[in-house]
Amino acid sequence: MPELSFEPAEYAARLSAVRETMEARGIDALFVTDPSNMAWLTGYDGWSFYVHQGVLLTKQGEPIWWGRAMDSVGAQRTTYLHHDNIVGYEDTYVQNPDKHPMENLSALIKARGLARATIGCELDNYYYTAAAHHSLQACLPEAHFEDTTGLVNWHRAIKSATELAYMHRAGRIVEKMHSVIREKAEPGMPKNELIAEIYHTSILGAEGHWGDYPAIVPMAPSGMDATAPHLTWDDQPLRSGESTFFEIAGAHRRYQCPQSRTLFLGQPPQKYLDAEKAVLEAIEAGLEMARPGNRCEDIALAFNKTLNKLGFEKDSRCGYAIGLSYPPDWGERTMSFRSGDKSVLKPGMTFHFMPALWLDDGGLEITEPIVITETGVECICTTPRELFIKA
């Protein structure tokens, strides 16, 4: 048997919960292509999401893993599924303009007696293409299709004790990554050399627990590049008089713990110190509202009210749900900390509280991964909450 990340009972409980939602929505079969959802339901873990693959869940029995034939061996190695429920399509379907892998999936669906079924598909998903859906519709003309984007994602919102343990291990890793940044960064150091140190630390892991690959590469822009939120790195040297924010994550068994800090080499201008003070006070105001029974928007409103009072504005969300993730995103794509999101906070929910500011000549990111507890909130990491200043 493969070494699974969770006990069989936990996987069984997940299937049961998803099936209850399927029943309530009149879904006969659910086709899941998000690799995070595939892993959460079956344990499947492989870098094969660049080709068409998925998990087909019906009302009873084991799910079916379906994908490229060469990856079926990986499914045997990483899932609890009986080999009869691991189905691979032959390689001539791969990136072939003359036929589509969904033709093979359609044949499988018909063979399982689902030609006239109501089938749920994750339509707004990175891994499910317009051509894939068009092929399914053409090959299954008597089936009815429903958009089930997010159905499984929402079931992942409240973490089990084991999931929280994995996220705390990832938290120890990202703490260590930030410690290495403070130790190694200095004027004149090529940015790619510092990123290499960050990667080295992230994969070595911490406290005896190995590091997995993060779902997003390190984002580490400096100076004017740091006025934009999602730039990565180059070979330019770090410079005195510039800020660099590091948006990075530790990961363990695919569970992500992102955290950002900002480094300023030299003496920062007063506006950076003012921004730091405003962000830190606003974070405290937001954390005060992070407790069971409150809503996601309560955190955002408290944060923004405090930030605005101190002379700064943020026009984007200030947080989102996190957990099990694969590239290109470490978010769960469910809840956000922003006005209008009335999702109720519950114990076991995990978020990246992401109150970043982008100024006219740089950026300031001081963020916290958090867990909603029975009585309030816990910050997963102990990284000093401050602007890192290094002469």
Tens digit of each residue's pLDDT (9 = 90 or more) over 60-84: 999 999 999 999 999 999 999 999 9
Mean pLDDT along residues 242-263: 98
Q: Is the pTM of this model over 0.75?
A: yes
Contact 183, 62 (CB under 8 A): no
Round the average pLDDT of the chain to a whole number and report it: 97
Structure tokens at 149: 């984007």
Judge whether residue 358 has pLDDT over 90.
no
- pLDDT at residue 268 is higher than 80: yes
Q: Which pLDDT does position 123 carry in this prediction?
A: 98
92, pLDDT greater than 80: yes
Tokens 């590239």 — which residue?
327
Average pLDDT value for residue range 168-172: 98
Q: How far apart are CA 311 and CA 271, in angstroms?
A: 11
Give the mean model confidence (pLDDT) for residues 245-267: 98
pLDDT of residue 261: 98
* Percentage of the chain lying above the pLDDT 70 cut: 100
Which domains are present in the chain? 8-155 (3.40.350.10), 161-390 (3.90.230.10)
**Using CA atoms, how far apart are residues 14 and 12, in angstroms rounded to an integer?**
5
C-alpha 324/C-alpha 5 separation (Å) is 12
Distance CA 219, CA 365 (A): 11
Other Cβ atoms closer than 10 A to 345: 19
Q: How confident is the model at residue 391 (pLDDT cuts 50, 70, 90)?
A: confident
Answer yes or no: are the C-beta atoms of 205 and 247 closer than 8 Å: no
Q: What does the angle CA 60 – CA 125 – CA 144 come to, to the nearest 5 degrees? A: 50
Q: Give me the pLDDT at residue 140, please.
A: 98
The confidence score (pLDDT) of residue 266 equals: 97
Amino acid symbol at 390: K
pLDDT value at residue 101:
98
pLDDT at 271: 94
